[in-house]
Structure 1
Amino acid sequence: MPWDQYNYTATPWAEIPATINEVGSIYTCQGFDLNYAGIIIGPPINQVQGQNRLQVNLDKMTDTEMFKKRTDLTDPVEIEQLEKQMVMNSLNVLFKRGVHGCYLYAHDPLLRYTLCTLFDQINY
């Protein structure tokens, strides 16, 4: 499916009927309550082998707009930690967009397996 395109109109992306056939992003879905959200957890996020925790690989990030340079931050270690936190915060926001539910797909096979196993154990 095509990814969201920059919208030069006053109408937000999520309110344009044609966008039903597009994939949105953290930017286009932010602030919207959608009936359902489909979330693709991409290559930058994977599960740590043998642990129930996620890690962020910043080398696999393709979003050039996410990490705007801030002149008040100079420590590379602090910058890396803040960037990883920003990725996880974005994922957290997306998880909360679907009022009636959300569909998940994880690029990382281990994370995908863990999610499937987890949801199979939930009693509806």
Structure 2
Amino acid sequence: MNYAGVIIGPSVSYRDGEIIFDPSKSKNKKATQKRTLKDGSKEEVSDLLLKNELNVLLTRGVNGLYIYAVDKYLREALLKAQEG
């Protein structure tokens, strides 16, 4: 893909200088369900899966990336980072 457009939904927000992932606001139910690990235990790995999902989407554009963040504070932080 030469260019990619990504809408960062309400499951990713920005507060007090940190990016916060909220699995309860994610529309991807497969990323937010509990997983059974190799040892048979069930573990909540939704934060990890959401971070990985965002990383994959943000690294797809070879020549460019267009981003829109639903969260106002995240959108402002991205615009500020673009300036500097």
TM-score, length-normalised on structure 2? 0.85
Q: AA paired with 1:92?
A: N
Structure 1 residue 110: deviation in Å? 0.5
CA deviation vs aligned residue, 1:74-100 (integer Å, no higher than 9, x gap):
3xxx41xx2111101110011110000
CA deviation vs aligned residue, 1:47-75 (integer Å, no higher than 9, x gap):
12x22x2111111112223345533333x
Query: 53, 61, 80: which one pairs with 2:26?
Result: 61
Query: Could you say which residue in structure 1 is the equivalent of 2:6?
Result: 39
- After superposing on structure 2, the runs of 4+ consecutive aligned residues of structure 1 that deviate more than 6 Å are none
Name structure 1 gaps, 5 residues minimum.
1-33
- Report 1 or 2 for greater relative contact order, CA contacts < 8 Å, sequence distance ≥ 6: 2
TM-score, length-normalised on structure 1? 0.59
Query: Could you say which residue in structure 2 is the equivalent of 1:23?
Result: none
Query: 66, 71, 82: which one pairs with 1:103?
Result: 66
Q: Distance in 1 between matches of 2:33 and 2:22?
A: 18
Q: Distance in 1 between matches of 2:23 and 2:33?
A: 14
- Secondary structure in 1 aligned to 2:3? strand
Query: 61, 80, 84: which one pairs with 1:117?
Result: 80
Q: Percent identity?
A: 36
- The answer to which structure has the higher strand fraction is 2
Q: What number of residue pairs does the alignment pair up?
A: 81
